[in-house]
Copies of this chain bind each other. A is one copy, B any other.
Amino acid sequence: QLPEQENLVYFNIKEQRTQFDINRDHTAFWLPGDYDSQEYDYTTSKLTEIRGLMSTAVTPNVSQSPFSDTGVQTALMLKTVDSLYINLHEAALVEYPCMHLELDDNTLIFESHLTPDAIGNKGYMQSPRSTPWRTVIASDNAADILMSRITLNLNEPCTYEDTEWIKPVKYIGVWWEMITGKSSWAYSDLKSIQLGETDFTKIESNGRHAANTTHVKEYLDFAAEHDFDAVLVEGWNQGWEDWFDNSKDYVFDFTSSYPDFDVDVLREYAKSKGVRLMMHHETSGSSRNYERHMDEAYQFMVDNNYNSVKSGYVGNIIPRGETHSGQWMVNHYLYAIKKAAEYKIMVNAHEAVRPTGLCRTYPNLIGNESARGTEYEAFGGNNPDHTTILPFTRLLGGPMDYTPGIFEPDVSQYNPGNGSKVRTTLARQLALYVTMYSPLQMAADLPETYKKHMDAFQFIKDVGIDWDETKVLEAEPGDFITYARKEKGTGHWFVGRTNDEIARTSEISFDFLDADKRYIATIYSDKSDAHYQTNPKAYQINKFVATSKSELSQYCAPGGGYAISLTVADSRRETRGLKKL
Protein backbone atom coordinates (compact mmCIF):
# COMPACT_ATOMS: atom_id res chain seq x y z
CA GLN A 1 0.00 0.00 0.00
CA LEU A 2 1.17 3.48 -0.89
CA PRO A 3 0.31 5.73 2.05
CA GLU A 4 -0.70 9.33 1.58
CA GLN A 5 2.38 11.51 1.86
CA GLU A 6 2.97 15.22 1.74
CA ASN A 7 4.42 15.02 -1.74
CA LEU A 8 2.72 11.90 -2.98
CA VAL A 9 -1.01 12.40 -3.30
CA TYR A 10 -1.79 12.34 -7.02
CA PHE A 11 0.74 10.81 -9.31
CA ASN A 12 1.30 8.84 -12.45
CA ILE A 13 2.93 5.48 -12.65
CA LYS A 14 5.68 5.62 -15.25
CA GLU A 15 6.74 2.02 -14.65
CA GLN A 16 6.71 -0.46 -11.83
CA ARG A 17 9.99 -2.34 -11.72
CA THR A 18 9.22 -5.47 -9.76
CA GLN A 19 11.86 -8.05 -10.57
CA PHE A 20 11.74 -11.81 -10.43
CA ASP A 21 15.27 -13.13 -10.56
CA ILE A 22 14.84 -16.55 -12.16
CA ASN A 23 18.55 -17.11 -12.29
CA ARG A 24 18.73 -20.26 -14.41
CA ASP A 25 17.41 -21.29 -17.79
CA HIS A 26 14.26 -23.02 -16.63
CA THR A 27 11.30 -24.18 -18.65
CA ALA A 28 8.43 -21.76 -19.11
CA PHE A 29 4.86 -22.32 -20.26
CA TRP A 30 4.26 -18.91 -21.75
CA LEU A 31 1.94 -16.73 -23.76
CA PRO A 32 3.24 -13.72 -25.66
CA GLY A 33 2.91 -10.55 -23.62
CA ASP A 34 0.15 -8.49 -25.20
CA TYR A 35 -1.90 -5.47 -24.16
CA ASP A 36 -4.97 -6.72 -25.97
CA SER A 37 -5.10 -10.45 -26.34
CA GLN A 38 -4.57 -13.53 -24.22
CA GLU A 39 -5.99 -15.78 -26.89
CA TYR A 40 -2.80 -17.57 -27.80
CA ASP A 41 -1.59 -21.14 -27.59
CA TYR A 42 1.05 -21.77 -24.96
CA THR A 43 4.65 -22.18 -25.99
CA THR A 44 6.79 -24.43 -23.83
CA SER A 45 10.46 -23.55 -23.97
CA LYS A 46 13.57 -22.65 -22.09
CA LEU A 47 13.66 -19.01 -21.05
CA THR A 48 16.49 -18.29 -23.44
CA GLU A 49 14.41 -19.64 -26.28
CA ILE A 50 11.57 -17.15 -25.82
CA ARG A 51 13.07 -14.47 -28.05
CA GLY A 52 13.57 -16.89 -30.92
CA LEU A 53 10.09 -18.36 -30.61
CA MET A 54 8.18 -15.12 -30.16
CA SER A 55 7.32 -14.52 -33.79
CA THR A 56 5.68 -17.92 -34.16
CA ALA A 57 4.03 -17.65 -30.75
CA VAL A 58 2.25 -14.44 -31.78
CA THR A 59 -0.45 -15.93 -33.96
CA PRO A 60 -2.85 -13.54 -35.70
CA ASN A 61 -5.71 -12.16 -33.66
CA VAL A 62 -8.46 -9.60 -34.10
CA SER A 63 -6.96 -7.24 -31.56
CA GLN A 64 -3.41 -7.67 -30.47
CA SER A 65 -0.56 -5.55 -29.16
CA PRO A 66 2.50 -7.60 -28.32
CA PHE A 67 5.07 -5.30 -26.78
CA SER A 68 8.41 -7.07 -26.68
CA ASP A 69 10.33 -10.04 -28.05
CA THR A 70 10.75 -11.32 -24.52
CA GLY A 71 7.44 -10.16 -23.06
CA VAL A 72 5.16 -12.80 -21.60
CA GLN A 73 1.90 -12.87 -19.72
CA THR A 74 1.04 -13.84 -16.20
CA ALA A 75 0.10 -16.21 -14.72
CA LEU A 76 3.46 -17.55 -15.88
CA MET A 77 4.20 -21.18 -15.07
CA LEU A 78 7.81 -22.28 -14.72
CA LYS A 79 9.47 -25.60 -14.04
CA THR A 80 13.03 -25.43 -12.88
CA VAL A 81 15.84 -27.69 -13.99
CA ASP A 82 15.59 -29.39 -10.61
CA SER A 83 11.82 -29.89 -10.88
CA LEU A 84 10.56 -27.07 -8.75
CA TYR A 85 7.26 -25.61 -9.94
CA ILE A 86 7.00 -21.82 -9.80
CA ASN A 87 4.09 -19.61 -10.72
CA LEU A 88 4.24 -15.81 -11.11
CA HIS A 89 1.01 -13.83 -11.19
CA GLU A 90 -0.79 -10.89 -9.69
CA ALA A 91 -3.80 -10.67 -7.40
CA ALA A 92 -6.50 -8.07 -6.87
CA LEU A 93 -5.99 -6.04 -10.02
CA VAL A 94 -8.16 -3.02 -9.25
CA GLU A 95 -7.79 0.52 -10.62
CA TYR A 96 -4.37 -0.29 -12.02
CA PRO A 97 -3.00 -1.57 -15.31
CA CYS A 98 -2.45 -5.26 -15.84
CA MET A 99 1.10 -6.50 -15.32
CA HIS A 100 3.06 -8.39 -17.93
CA LEU A 101 6.57 -9.71 -17.52
CA GLU A 102 9.56 -8.85 -19.62
CA LEU A 103 12.55 -11.11 -19.58
CA ASP A 104 16.11 -9.91 -19.67
CA ASP A 105 17.45 -13.02 -21.34
CA ASN A 106 21.03 -12.21 -20.45
CA THR A 107 20.45 -11.98 -16.70
CA LEU A 108 17.33 -14.20 -16.71
CA ILE A 109 15.45 -11.63 -14.67
CA PHE A 110 11.77 -10.95 -15.32
CA GLU A 111 10.67 -7.38 -14.73
CA SER A 112 7.09 -6.24 -14.47
CA HIS A 113 5.80 -4.31 -17.46
CA LEU A 114 2.54 -2.42 -16.99
CA THR A 115 0.03 -1.78 -19.74
CA PRO A 116 0.26 1.86 -20.85
CA ASP A 117 -2.69 4.09 -21.67
CA ALA A 118 -3.25 6.05 -24.88
CA ILE A 119 -0.57 8.57 -24.00
CA GLY A 120 1.91 6.15 -22.51
CA ASN A 121 1.15 6.58 -18.83
CA LYS A 122 0.72 3.48 -16.77
CA GLY A 123 -1.54 4.36 -13.91
CA TYR A 124 -3.25 7.38 -12.39
CA MET A 125 -3.00 7.18 -8.65
CA GLN A 126 -4.34 8.87 -5.57
CA SER A 127 -2.75 7.87 -2.31
CA PRO A 128 -3.46 6.05 -0.11
CA ARG A 129 -3.84 3.24 -2.58
CA SER A 130 -3.13 -0.45 -2.57
CA THR A 131 -1.49 -1.72 -5.72
CA PRO A 132 -2.13 -5.28 -6.88
CA TRP A 133 -0.21 -8.08 -5.25
CA ARG A 134 2.60 -9.81 -7.10
CA THR A 135 2.56 -13.49 -6.26
CA VAL A 136 5.10 -16.27 -6.35
CA ILE A 137 3.80 -19.77 -5.73
CA ALA A 138 6.43 -22.46 -5.54
CA SER A 139 6.41 -26.15 -4.71
CA ASP A 140 8.15 -29.35 -5.68
CA ASN A 141 4.67 -30.79 -6.20
CA ALA A 142 2.83 -29.47 -9.23
CA ALA A 143 -0.50 -30.22 -7.57
CA ASP A 144 0.23 -27.60 -4.92
CA ILE A 145 0.17 -24.91 -7.59
CA LEU A 146 -3.27 -26.07 -8.70
CA MET A 147 -4.53 -26.18 -5.13
CA SER A 148 -3.16 -22.78 -4.15
CA ARG A 149 -5.81 -20.26 -3.16
CA ILE A 150 -3.35 -17.42 -2.73
CA THR A 151 -4.71 -15.41 -5.67
CA LEU A 152 -8.25 -15.53 -4.33
CA ASN A 153 -7.20 -15.01 -0.76
CA LEU A 154 -5.26 -11.85 -1.51
CA ASN A 155 -8.49 -10.28 -2.66
CA GLU A 156 -10.92 -8.62 -0.29
CA PRO A 157 -13.78 -10.75 1.08
CA CYS A 158 -17.14 -10.70 -0.60
CA THR A 159 -18.50 -7.17 -0.71
CA TYR A 160 -22.15 -8.15 -1.14
CA GLU A 161 -24.38 -8.83 1.83
CA ASP A 162 -26.87 -10.84 -0.12
CA THR A 163 -25.44 -13.49 -2.43
CA GLU A 164 -28.53 -15.69 -2.70
CA TRP A 165 -29.01 -14.57 -6.28
CA ILE A 166 -25.60 -15.86 -7.35
CA LYS A 167 -25.86 -19.49 -8.40
CA PRO A 168 -23.87 -21.93 -10.51
CA VAL A 169 -25.16 -22.26 -14.04
CA LYS A 170 -25.04 -25.18 -16.43
CA TYR A 171 -26.10 -23.99 -19.83
CA ILE A 172 -26.37 -24.61 -23.53
CA GLY A 173 -26.41 -21.93 -26.16
CA VAL A 174 -27.12 -20.71 -29.62
CA TRP A 175 -23.44 -20.24 -30.18
CA TRP A 176 -21.35 -23.08 -31.61
CA GLU A 177 -23.34 -23.05 -34.80
CA MET A 178 -22.23 -19.45 -35.37
CA ILE A 179 -18.66 -20.09 -34.24
CA THR A 180 -18.34 -22.87 -36.78
CA GLY A 181 -19.93 -20.75 -39.50
CA LYS A 182 -23.02 -22.90 -39.90
CA SER A 183 -25.24 -19.99 -38.85
CA SER A 184 -24.83 -16.25 -38.53
CA TRP A 185 -25.13 -13.75 -35.71
CA ALA A 186 -26.41 -11.19 -38.17
CA TYR A 187 -29.99 -11.18 -39.33
CA SER A 188 -29.15 -9.86 -42.78
CA ASP A 189 -26.18 -9.61 -45.10
CA LEU A 190 -26.20 -5.82 -45.17
CA LYS A 191 -22.75 -4.27 -45.07
CA SER A 192 -23.75 -1.37 -42.88
CA ILE A 193 -26.66 -0.58 -40.60
CA GLN A 194 -27.63 2.29 -38.34
CA LEU A 195 -29.28 1.50 -35.04
CA GLY A 196 -32.66 3.14 -34.79
CA GLU A 197 -32.65 3.96 -38.48
CA THR A 198 -32.32 0.64 -40.25
CA ASP A 199 -35.79 -0.91 -40.19
CA PHE A 200 -35.19 -4.64 -39.95
CA THR A 201 -38.86 -5.43 -40.23
CA LYS A 202 -38.56 -4.37 -43.87
CA ILE A 203 -35.49 -6.50 -44.50
CA GLU A 204 -35.52 -10.18 -45.20
CA SER A 205 -33.45 -12.51 -43.08
CA ASN A 206 -30.38 -14.07 -44.66
CA GLY A 207 -31.81 -17.48 -43.77
CA ARG A 208 -28.87 -18.34 -41.53
CA HIS A 209 -29.85 -16.28 -38.52
CA ALA A 210 -29.84 -18.72 -35.63
CA ALA A 211 -31.27 -16.50 -32.92
CA ASN A 212 -34.82 -16.80 -34.15
CA THR A 213 -37.80 -17.57 -31.98
CA THR A 214 -38.50 -21.04 -33.36
CA HIS A 215 -34.94 -22.18 -33.11
CA VAL A 216 -34.40 -20.76 -29.64
CA LYS A 217 -37.50 -22.62 -28.52
CA GLU A 218 -35.82 -25.85 -29.67
CA TYR A 219 -32.85 -25.04 -27.47
CA LEU A 220 -35.18 -24.23 -24.59
CA ASP A 221 -36.94 -27.53 -25.06
CA PHE A 222 -33.66 -29.38 -25.04
CA ALA A 223 -32.43 -27.48 -22.00
CA ALA A 224 -35.63 -28.22 -20.11
CA GLU A 225 -35.57 -31.88 -21.05
CA HIS A 226 -32.02 -32.30 -19.81
CA ASP A 227 -32.15 -30.05 -16.77
CA PHE A 228 -29.96 -27.21 -17.90
CA ASP A 229 -30.30 -23.93 -16.06
CA ALA A 230 -30.02 -21.60 -19.01
CA VAL A 231 -29.80 -21.04 -22.73
CA LEU A 232 -27.39 -18.46 -24.06
CA VAL A 233 -28.52 -16.75 -27.24
CA GLU A 234 -26.02 -14.77 -29.26
CA GLY A 235 -27.03 -12.68 -32.23
CA TRP A 236 -30.44 -11.76 -30.85
CA ASN A 237 -29.91 -8.03 -30.97
CA GLN A 238 -29.56 -5.57 -33.82
CA GLY A 239 -26.10 -4.61 -34.93
CA TRP A 240 -24.32 -7.79 -35.97
CA GLU A 241 -24.12 -6.79 -39.62
CA ASP A 242 -21.23 -4.38 -39.10
CA TRP A 243 -20.19 -4.78 -35.50
CA PHE A 244 -16.66 -5.92 -36.15
CA ASP A 245 -13.49 -4.12 -37.19
CA ASN A 246 -15.21 -0.86 -38.08
CA SER A 247 -14.35 1.06 -34.91
CA LYS A 248 -18.06 1.72 -34.74
CA ASP A 249 -18.91 3.65 -31.63
CA TYR A 250 -22.70 3.22 -31.46
CA VAL A 251 -22.56 -0.44 -32.42
CA PHE A 252 -25.25 -2.08 -30.24
CA ASP A 253 -27.94 -0.80 -27.92
CA PHE A 254 -28.39 -4.11 -26.07
CA THR A 255 -32.17 -3.85 -26.03
CA SER A 256 -33.34 -3.89 -29.65
CA SER A 257 -33.92 -7.38 -30.96
CA TYR A 258 -34.05 -8.53 -34.54
CA PRO A 259 -37.62 -8.98 -35.81
CA ASP A 260 -37.39 -12.77 -35.79
CA PHE A 261 -36.41 -12.86 -32.10
CA ASP A 262 -39.56 -12.29 -30.09
CA VAL A 263 -38.48 -11.18 -26.64
CA ASP A 264 -41.92 -11.45 -25.09
CA VAL A 265 -42.73 -14.85 -26.51
CA LEU A 266 -39.38 -16.29 -25.52
CA ARG A 267 -39.50 -14.80 -22.04
CA GLU A 268 -42.81 -16.52 -21.40
CA TYR A 269 -41.76 -19.73 -23.10
CA ALA A 270 -38.57 -19.94 -21.05
CA LYS A 271 -40.55 -19.31 -17.89
CA SER A 272 -42.99 -22.05 -18.78
CA LYS A 273 -40.06 -24.43 -19.24
CA GLY A 274 -38.32 -23.43 -16.03
CA VAL A 275 -35.22 -22.40 -17.95
CA ARG A 276 -33.50 -19.02 -17.99
CA LEU A 277 -32.42 -17.25 -21.11
CA MET A 278 -28.84 -16.04 -20.81
CA MET A 279 -28.21 -12.54 -22.13
CA HIS A 280 -25.42 -11.70 -24.50
CA HIS A 281 -23.80 -8.26 -24.59
CA GLU A 282 -21.13 -8.08 -27.21
CA THR A 283 -19.63 -4.60 -26.88
CA SER A 284 -17.24 -4.77 -29.84
CA GLY A 285 -14.81 -3.08 -27.44
CA SER A 286 -16.86 0.11 -27.57
CA SER A 287 -16.77 0.70 -23.86
CA ARG A 288 -18.36 4.14 -23.75
CA ASN A 289 -21.29 2.91 -25.76
CA TYR A 290 -21.75 -0.03 -23.41
CA GLU A 291 -21.67 2.16 -20.34
CA ARG A 292 -24.18 4.54 -21.88
CA HIS A 293 -26.62 1.68 -22.36
CA MET A 294 -25.74 -0.38 -19.35
CA ASP A 295 -28.56 0.62 -17.02
CA GLU A 296 -31.17 0.13 -19.71
CA ALA A 297 -29.58 -3.13 -20.79
CA TYR A 298 -29.56 -4.56 -17.29
CA GLN A 299 -33.08 -3.34 -16.63
CA PHE A 300 -34.17 -5.00 -19.86
CA MET A 301 -32.70 -8.22 -18.51
CA VAL A 302 -34.56 -7.91 -15.23
CA ASP A 303 -37.78 -7.14 -17.06
CA ASN A 304 -37.36 -10.21 -19.25
CA ASN A 305 -36.22 -12.62 -16.57
CA TYR A 306 -32.57 -12.91 -17.51
CA ASN A 307 -30.20 -13.21 -14.55
CA SER A 308 -26.85 -13.72 -16.24
CA VAL A 309 -25.01 -12.10 -19.09
CA LYS A 310 -22.12 -13.11 -21.25
CA SER A 311 -20.35 -9.91 -22.20
CA GLY A 312 -17.70 -9.61 -24.87
CA TYR A 313 -14.96 -7.21 -25.86
CA VAL A 314 -13.96 -8.42 -29.30
CA GLY A 315 -11.75 -6.08 -31.32
CA ASN A 316 -9.93 -2.91 -30.53
CA ILE A 317 -11.05 -0.85 -27.60
CA ILE A 318 -12.94 2.41 -27.93
CA PRO A 319 -11.73 4.93 -26.66
CA ARG A 320 -9.04 4.43 -29.27
CA GLY A 321 -5.56 4.09 -27.89
CA GLU A 322 -6.77 2.21 -24.84
CA THR A 323 -6.25 -1.54 -24.68
CA HIS A 324 -7.96 -4.50 -23.08
CA SER A 325 -5.54 -4.68 -20.18
CA GLY A 326 -4.97 -1.01 -19.35
CA GLN A 327 -6.20 0.86 -16.30
CA TRP A 328 -9.09 2.36 -18.29
CA MET A 329 -10.61 -1.00 -19.13
CA VAL A 330 -9.70 -2.59 -15.80
CA ASN A 331 -11.85 0.12 -14.31
CA HIS A 332 -14.60 -0.52 -16.85
CA TYR A 333 -14.86 -4.28 -16.30
CA LEU A 334 -15.29 -3.81 -12.59
CA TYR A 335 -17.81 -1.03 -13.16
CA ALA A 336 -19.85 -3.44 -15.27
CA ILE A 337 -19.70 -6.10 -12.56
CA LYS A 338 -20.68 -3.75 -9.74
CA LYS A 339 -23.52 -2.28 -11.72
CA ALA A 340 -24.72 -5.75 -12.67
CA ALA A 341 -24.84 -6.56 -8.96
CA GLU A 342 -27.26 -3.69 -8.46
CA TYR A 343 -29.59 -5.60 -10.76
CA LYS A 344 -28.67 -9.02 -9.29
CA ILE A 345 -27.08 -10.06 -12.54
CA MET A 346 -24.22 -12.52 -12.92
CA VAL A 347 -21.48 -11.62 -15.38
CA ASN A 348 -19.37 -13.84 -17.61
CA ALA A 349 -17.00 -11.43 -19.34
CA HIS A 350 -15.11 -12.52 -22.43
CA GLU A 351 -11.99 -10.84 -23.79
CA ALA A 352 -11.71 -8.95 -20.50
CA VAL A 353 -8.44 -8.58 -18.64
CA ARG A 354 -7.14 -11.84 -17.16
CA PRO A 355 -8.67 -12.49 -13.77
CA THR A 356 -6.76 -11.98 -10.55
CA GLY A 357 -9.16 -13.38 -7.98
CA LEU A 358 -11.71 -10.57 -8.01
CA CYS A 359 -14.51 -13.13 -8.04
CA ARG A 360 -13.90 -13.51 -4.32
CA THR A 361 -14.90 -9.91 -3.72
CA TYR A 362 -17.48 -9.77 -6.50
CA PRO A 363 -18.84 -13.31 -6.80
CA ASN A 364 -21.34 -12.29 -9.48
CA LEU A 365 -18.30 -12.40 -11.75
CA ILE A 366 -19.14 -16.05 -12.32
CA GLY A 367 -16.88 -16.52 -15.27
CA ASN A 368 -14.36 -15.07 -17.64
CA GLU A 369 -12.83 -16.16 -20.85
CA SER A 370 -9.56 -14.22 -20.93
CA ALA A 371 -7.63 -17.01 -22.60
CA ARG A 372 -7.89 -19.13 -25.71
CA GLY A 373 -11.12 -21.05 -25.29
CA THR A 374 -12.92 -23.77 -27.17
CA GLU A 375 -13.99 -21.34 -29.89
CA TYR A 376 -10.48 -21.59 -31.32
CA GLU A 377 -11.09 -25.26 -32.01
CA ALA A 378 -13.25 -23.94 -34.83
CA PHE A 379 -10.64 -21.34 -35.81
CA GLY A 380 -7.89 -23.86 -36.57
CA GLY A 381 -7.59 -25.62 -33.25
CA ASN A 382 -5.89 -25.43 -29.87
CA ASN A 383 -2.69 -27.23 -29.01
CA PRO A 384 -3.51 -30.66 -27.57
CA ASP A 385 -1.71 -29.76 -24.33
CA HIS A 386 -3.64 -26.50 -23.91
CA THR A 387 -5.92 -27.76 -21.18
CA THR A 388 -3.01 -29.32 -19.30
CA ILE A 389 -1.57 -25.80 -18.83
CA LEU A 390 -4.58 -23.52 -18.32
CA PRO A 391 -5.31 -24.77 -14.77
CA PHE A 392 -1.72 -23.81 -13.85
CA THR A 393 -2.07 -20.32 -15.30
CA ARG A 394 -5.32 -18.76 -16.35
CA LEU A 395 -7.47 -20.59 -13.80
CA LEU A 396 -5.48 -19.38 -10.79
CA GLY A 397 -7.23 -16.02 -11.14
CA GLY A 398 -10.75 -17.35 -11.37
CA PRO A 399 -13.10 -19.62 -13.30
CA MET A 400 -12.96 -19.81 -17.05
CA ASP A 401 -15.91 -20.19 -19.37
CA TYR A 402 -14.01 -22.65 -21.54
CA THR A 403 -17.22 -23.97 -23.17
CA PRO A 404 -16.33 -27.67 -23.40
CA GLY A 405 -18.50 -30.52 -24.57
CA ILE A 406 -17.82 -30.61 -28.32
CA PHE A 407 -18.92 -34.06 -29.52
CA GLU A 408 -18.49 -33.46 -33.26
CA PRO A 409 -14.77 -32.76 -33.72
CA ASP A 410 -15.06 -32.38 -37.46
CA VAL A 411 -16.20 -28.81 -37.90
CA SER A 412 -16.88 -29.31 -41.58
CA GLN A 413 -19.89 -31.40 -40.58
CA TYR A 414 -21.49 -28.09 -39.61
CA ASN A 415 -19.86 -25.89 -42.20
CA PRO A 416 -18.23 -27.51 -45.22
CA GLY A 417 -16.13 -24.40 -45.64
CA ASN A 418 -14.49 -24.79 -42.25
CA GLY A 419 -11.74 -27.42 -42.14
CA SER A 420 -10.98 -27.04 -38.44
CA LYS A 421 -10.74 -30.11 -36.26
CA VAL A 422 -11.36 -30.02 -32.55
CA ARG A 423 -8.05 -31.28 -31.25
CA THR A 424 -9.24 -33.51 -28.42
CA THR A 425 -11.00 -36.82 -28.14
CA LEU A 426 -14.64 -36.88 -27.16
CA ALA A 427 -13.79 -38.49 -23.83
CA ARG A 428 -11.49 -35.59 -22.96
CA GLN A 429 -14.28 -33.12 -23.73
CA LEU A 430 -16.09 -34.70 -20.80
CA ALA A 431 -13.03 -34.55 -18.57
CA LEU A 432 -12.87 -30.77 -18.98
CA TYR A 433 -16.02 -30.34 -16.88
CA VAL A 434 -13.93 -31.52 -13.95
CA THR A 435 -10.48 -30.19 -14.85
CA MET A 436 -11.56 -26.69 -15.89
CA TYR A 437 -13.11 -25.39 -12.71
CA SER A 438 -16.06 -23.10 -13.25
CA PRO A 439 -19.42 -22.57 -11.57
CA LEU A 440 -20.55 -21.74 -15.07
CA GLN A 441 -20.32 -24.64 -17.47
CA MET A 442 -21.58 -24.89 -20.99
CA ALA A 443 -22.48 -27.86 -23.08
CA ALA A 444 -21.22 -26.15 -26.17
CA ASP A 445 -22.19 -28.47 -28.98
CA LEU A 446 -25.49 -28.59 -30.82
CA PRO A 447 -28.52 -30.47 -29.43
CA GLU A 448 -28.76 -32.42 -32.69
CA THR A 449 -25.27 -33.77 -32.02
CA TYR A 450 -25.89 -34.58 -28.38
CA LYS A 451 -28.94 -36.56 -29.43
CA LYS A 452 -26.60 -38.88 -31.33
CA HIS A 453 -24.48 -39.56 -28.23
CA MET A 454 -26.89 -39.57 -25.35
CA ASP A 455 -24.76 -42.13 -23.50
CA ALA A 456 -21.80 -39.79 -23.35
CA PHE A 457 -24.05 -36.76 -22.89
CA GLN A 458 -25.24 -38.38 -19.69
CA PHE A 459 -21.97 -37.34 -18.05
CA ILE A 460 -22.56 -33.67 -18.88
CA LYS A 461 -26.03 -33.98 -17.38
CA ASP A 462 -24.68 -35.66 -14.26
CA VAL A 463 -21.51 -33.71 -13.59
CA GLY A 464 -21.50 -31.25 -10.72
CA ILE A 465 -20.78 -27.55 -11.09
CA ASP A 466 -20.51 -26.72 -7.41
CA TRP A 467 -18.04 -28.54 -5.19
CA ASP A 468 -17.38 -29.37 -1.59
CA GLU A 469 -13.95 -30.84 -2.03
CA THR A 470 -11.20 -30.96 -4.64
CA LYS A 471 -8.21 -33.31 -5.02
CA VAL A 472 -5.47 -33.25 -7.58
CA LEU A 473 -4.65 -36.89 -8.35
CA GLU A 474 -2.01 -36.35 -11.02
CA ALA A 475 -0.51 -33.19 -12.47
CA GLU A 476 2.30 -32.17 -14.72
CA PRO A 477 1.99 -28.91 -16.65
CA GLY A 478 1.98 -29.47 -20.37
CA ASP A 479 1.42 -33.22 -19.95
CA PHE A 480 -1.64 -34.14 -17.92
CA ILE A 481 -3.90 -33.22 -15.02
CA THR A 482 -6.30 -35.46 -13.14
CA TYR A 483 -8.76 -33.92 -10.71
CA ALA A 484 -11.34 -35.45 -8.39
CA ARG A 485 -14.13 -33.27 -7.04
CA LYS A 486 -16.96 -33.93 -4.64
CA GLU A 487 -20.25 -32.38 -5.58
CA LYS A 488 -21.94 -30.07 -3.10
CA GLY A 489 -25.05 -31.61 -1.62
CA THR A 490 -25.05 -35.01 -3.30
CA GLY A 491 -21.75 -36.45 -2.10
CA HIS A 492 -21.06 -37.73 -5.61
CA TRP A 493 -17.52 -37.56 -6.89
CA PHE A 494 -16.37 -36.76 -10.39
CA VAL A 495 -12.96 -37.40 -11.86
CA GLY A 496 -11.51 -35.80 -14.97
CA ARG A 497 -8.25 -36.37 -16.73
CA THR A 498 -6.87 -34.26 -19.54
CA ASN A 499 -3.94 -35.58 -21.48
CA ASP A 500 -1.55 -33.95 -23.95
CA GLU A 501 -0.74 -35.26 -27.42
CA ILE A 502 1.16 -38.28 -26.08
CA ALA A 503 -0.57 -41.57 -25.21
CA ARG A 504 -0.24 -42.09 -21.47
CA THR A 505 -1.64 -44.29 -18.75
CA SER A 506 -3.21 -42.65 -15.76
CA GLU A 507 -2.77 -44.41 -12.42
CA ILE A 508 -5.08 -43.25 -9.71
CA SER A 509 -6.30 -44.42 -6.37
CA PHE A 510 -9.82 -43.75 -5.11
CA ASP A 511 -8.75 -43.22 -1.52
CA PHE A 512 -10.51 -39.86 -1.59
CA LEU A 513 -13.86 -41.65 -1.47
CA ASP A 514 -15.71 -42.04 1.80
CA ALA A 515 -14.41 -45.25 3.38
CA ASP A 516 -17.87 -46.43 4.45
CA LYS A 517 -19.58 -45.96 1.09
CA ARG A 518 -19.84 -47.86 -2.15
CA TYR A 519 -20.02 -45.97 -5.44
CA ILE A 520 -21.11 -46.72 -8.96
CA ALA A 521 -18.20 -45.63 -11.13
CA THR A 522 -19.09 -44.79 -14.72
CA ILE A 523 -15.93 -44.38 -16.74
CA TYR A 524 -16.02 -42.47 -20.01
CA SER A 525 -12.71 -43.19 -21.67
CA ASP A 526 -10.80 -43.32 -24.94
CA LYS A 527 -10.90 -46.58 -26.82
CA SER A 528 -7.50 -48.06 -27.48
CA ASP A 529 -7.56 -46.80 -31.07
CA ALA A 530 -8.72 -43.31 -30.20
CA HIS A 531 -6.62 -40.36 -31.31
CA TYR A 532 -7.43 -36.69 -31.33
CA GLN A 533 -6.47 -36.38 -34.97
CA THR A 534 -7.61 -39.59 -36.56
CA ASN A 535 -10.26 -41.13 -34.36
CA PRO A 536 -11.49 -38.65 -31.77
CA LYS A 537 -14.98 -40.06 -31.27
CA ALA A 538 -13.78 -43.50 -30.17
CA TYR A 539 -15.03 -43.52 -26.61
CA GLN A 540 -16.27 -46.29 -24.34
CA ILE A 541 -18.39 -46.25 -21.22
CA ASN A 542 -17.91 -48.83 -18.48
CA LYS A 543 -19.51 -49.23 -15.09
CA PHE A 544 -17.90 -50.58 -11.95
CA VAL A 545 -18.31 -50.63 -8.25
CA ALA A 546 -15.75 -48.45 -6.52
CA THR A 547 -14.70 -47.95 -2.92
CA SER A 548 -11.92 -46.04 -1.23
CA LYS A 549 -9.75 -49.09 -1.77
CA SER A 550 -10.19 -49.05 -5.55
CA GLU A 551 -7.46 -48.24 -8.00
CA LEU A 552 -7.48 -47.54 -11.69
CA SER A 553 -4.98 -47.81 -14.46
CA GLN A 554 -6.55 -46.03 -17.40
CA TYR A 555 -5.23 -45.59 -20.91
CA CYS A 556 -5.42 -42.05 -22.32
CA ALA A 557 -5.16 -41.58 -26.05
CA PRO A 558 -3.14 -38.77 -27.65
CA GLY A 559 -5.19 -35.64 -27.02
CA GLY A 560 -7.43 -37.77 -24.88
CA GLY A 561 -8.46 -38.28 -21.31
CA TYR A 562 -11.31 -39.65 -19.34
CA ALA A 563 -14.15 -38.73 -17.04
CA ILE A 564 -15.65 -40.71 -14.20
CA SER A 565 -18.81 -40.17 -12.29
CA LEU A 566 -18.95 -41.81 -8.86
CA THR A 567 -22.44 -41.85 -7.49
CA VAL A 568 -23.17 -43.13 -4.04
CA ALA A 569 -24.83 -46.54 -4.22
CA ASP A 570 -27.54 -46.69 -1.60
CA SER A 571 -28.28 -50.38 -1.96
CA ARG A 572 -26.67 -53.61 -3.12
CA ARG A 573 -29.26 -53.91 -5.84
CA GLU A 574 -27.90 -50.88 -7.67
CA THR A 575 -24.47 -52.43 -8.07
CA ARG A 576 -25.62 -55.96 -8.86
CA GLY A 577 -23.62 -57.41 -11.72
CA LEU A 578 -20.99 -54.67 -11.70
CA LYS A 579 -17.35 -55.60 -11.38
CA LYS A 580 -15.29 -54.12 -8.63
CA LEU A 581 -12.62 -51.65 -9.49
Contacts and interface: CB of A to CB of B under 8 A. Distances in A.
Given A288-B291, A291-B288, A117 B192 contact: no
A450 B320 CA distance: 50
Nearest to A4: B192
Given A242-B10, A291-B288, A117 B321 contact: yes
Contact of A192 (B9, B247, B248, B249): B9
A322 B191 CA distance: 29
A291 to B, nearest CB: 6
Interface string A258-298: 00000000000000000000000000000010011001000
Contact of A249 (B124, B248, B319): B124
Given A117-B321, A288-B291, A321-B117, A126 B10 contact: no
Report copies per complex.
2
Given A9-B246, A117-B319, 18 more contacts: A4-B192, A9-B191, A9-B242, A10-B247, A12-B247, A117-B321, A118-B118, A118-B119, A118-B319, A119-B320, A119-B321, A121-B320, A124-B248, A124-B249, A126-B246, A126-B248, A249-B331, A295-B295
Contact of A319 (B126, B192, B295, B322): B322
A305 B124 CA distance: 36
30 contacts: A4-B192, A9-B191, A9-B192, A9-B246, A10-B246, A10-B247, A10-B248, A12-B247, A117-B319, A117-B320, A118-B118, A118-B119, A118-B320, A118-B322, A119-B321, A124-B248, A124-B249, A126-B192, A126-B194, A126-B246, A126-B248, A127-B192, A288-B288, A288-B291, A291-B292, A292-B335, A295-B295, A319-B319, A319-B321, A319-B328
Interface in A62-119: 117-119
Contacts of A335: 292
A411 to B, nearest CB: 29
A127 B194 CA distance: 10
Interface SS of A by simple majority = loop
Interface of A: 4, 9-10, 12, 117-119, 121, 124, 126-127, 191-192, 194, 242, 246-249, 288, 291-292, 295, 319-322, 328, 331, 335
A124 B515 CA distance: 67
A430 to B, nearest CB: 43
Pairs A-B, 4 closest by C-beta atoms: A118-B321, A118-B118, A10-B246, A319-B319
Contacts of A291: 288, 291-292
Nearest to A332: B288
